[in-house]
Amino acid sequence: MFCFSLIGCNANARTIDNSTVASVDIDRYLGSWYEIARFDHSFERGLEQTKAQYTLRPDGKIDVLNSGYKNGMYSEAHGKAKATSVPGLLRVSFFGPFYGDYRILLLDSDYRYVLVGSNKSKFLWILSRTPQLPEGAREELLLEIAKRGYDADKLIWVKQ
């Protein structure tokens, strides 16, 4: 589904800055996030009211539950994530032993919204703790997206 189905290859990828934030408090990051905007992908096409729920497991990994609605039908995908030695970089899997990058590119100091990418320019998400971004956040995120070399015109603003 979204944010974690990051497997694939794109030879025409743009040059981007996908460096991660300097630090993330995983305990603060856990919980619910609404998907505000994303780049289009077949695994999310047509989804609305999309949401991610991150829960710490006893083994230190993170359970991931992505959900949303397509044509009025509820859909969900279960996955897992694990931390790496790089702050802001998680490895996420929805498909057995295959893991993809989950890169936290920008994180609000109060953990209200986040910009997430991967190791490829074709993946990008804006998430928020609430169904709408806080005032001023959209402008900050769009500036960051442009600064990093992503094409903001490709964003799909998700109906929440």
Question: How many distinct structural domains can be found in the chain?
Answer: 1
Q: Phi and psi of 145, rounded to 5°?
A: -60, -50
| pLDDT at residue 12, rounded to an integer | 52
pTM of the predicted structure, to 2 decimals: 0.89
Question: Is residue 13 domain-resident?
Answer: no
> What residues make up the domain containing 66?
26-157
Average pLDDT per consecutive 10 residues, the chain (160 residues; last block may be shorter): 45 78 97 98 93 96 97 96 96 91 97 96 96 96 97 96
Round to whole Å and give the CA distance between 2 and 15.
Answer: 22
| pLDDT at residue 5, rounded to an integer | 45
Question: Is residue 88 domain-resident?
Answer: yes
Question: Is residue 3 domain-resident?
Answer: no
Question: Is residue 115 domain-resident?
Answer: yes
Tell how far CA 71 is from the center of its chain.
Answer: 22
CATH value at residue 75? 2.40.128.20
Question: Is residue 52 domain-resident?
Answer: yes
Question: Is residue 17 domain-resident?
Answer: no
Strand partners, 34: 51, 128
Round to whole Å and give the CA distance between 55 and 12.
Answer: 35
| pLDDT at residue 14, rounded to an integer | 61
Question: Is residue 96 domain-resident?
Answer: yes
101, 104, 105, 108 alpha-carbon torsion, rounded to 10°: 170
Alpha helices in 6-78 (DSSP H): 26-29
Beta strand ranges found along the chain (DSSP E):
31-39, 48-56, 62-70, 73-83, 89-95, 98-107, 113-117, 124-128, 155-157
Q: Which of 28, 125, 2 has its CA nearest to residue 133?
A: 125
